[in-house]
Copies of this chain bind each other. A is one copy, B any other.
Amino acid sequence: MLANLPAVPDLHNNGLPSSDTNASLPISSVVNLDRGDTVLLESYWRKMSDECTVVIKGWEFLSYASDLRSVCWFMTPELRHAIKRLHALVGNAETHDKHIVIGNGSTQLFQASLFALSSSSSSSLSPADIPMNVVAAAPYYSGYPVETDIVRSSLYRWSGDALKYDKNEAYIEIVTSPNNPDGSIRRPMVNNKCGGEGKLIHDLAYYWPHYTPITHKANHDLMLFTFSKCTGHSGSRIGWAIVKDIEIAKKMTTFIVMNSIGVSKESQTRAAKIMKVVCDSYENFRFGSKESVELFFEYSRRLLKERWEKLREVIKQSDDFILPKFQRAYCNFTNESSETYPAFAWLMCEKDQDCTSYLDKEMKVLARSGNRFGCDPRYARINMLTRGDDFDEFLKRLSDIKDLSCQM
Answer whether A154 and B152 are a contact pair too, CB < 8 Å, given A11-B257, A107-B260: yes
Could you say which of A37-45, A173-181, A215-223, A315-323 contacts chain B? A37-45
A342 to B265, CA, bound (A): 26
Q: Which residues of B contact A46 (CB under 8 A)?
A: 58-59
Q: List 29 A-B contacts (CB under 8 A).
A: A11-B254, A11-B257, A11-B258, A15-B72, A15-B73, A16-B73, A17-B73, A19-B68, A35-B64, A37-B62, A38-B63, A39-B63, A48-B58, A49-B58, A54-B56, A56-B270, A60-B235, A62-B234, A104-B104, A115-B150, A151-B153, A152-B155, A153-B154, A154-B154, A235-B262, A237-B262, A237-B264, A237-B265, A266-B269
> Taking the complex as formed, is A346 at the interface, i.e. its CB lies under 8 A from any CB of chain B?
no
> Taking the complex as formed, is A309 at the interface, i.e. its CB lies under 8 A from any CB of chain B?
no
Nearest B residue (CB) for A270: B266
Nearest B residue (CB) for A64: B234
A153 to B59, CA, bound (A): 38
Chain B nearest CB from A179 CB (Å) reads 19
> Of the candidates B16, B52, B59, B265, which one forms a contact with A71 in the assembled complex, judged by CB atoms under 8 Å apart?
B16
Number of residues on chain A facing chain B (CB within 8 A): 89
> Taking the complex as formed, is A111 at the interface, i.e. its CB lies under 8 A from any CB of chain B?
yes
Q: Which residues of B contact A39 (CB under 8 A)?
A: 62-63
Interface residues in chain A, defined as those with a beta carbon under 8 Å from any beta carbon in chain B: 1-2, 11, 14-17, 19-20, 35-39, 41-42, 45-46, 48-66, 68-69, 71-73, 103-105, 107-108, 111, 115, 118-119, 128, 143, 146-147, 150-156, 228, 232-237, 250-251, 253-255, 257-267, 269-270, 274, 277
A19 to B70, CA, bound (A): 11
A269 to B377, CA, bound (A): 40
A61 to B42, CA, bound (A): 9
Q: Which residues of B contact A115 (CB under 8 A)?
A: 150-151
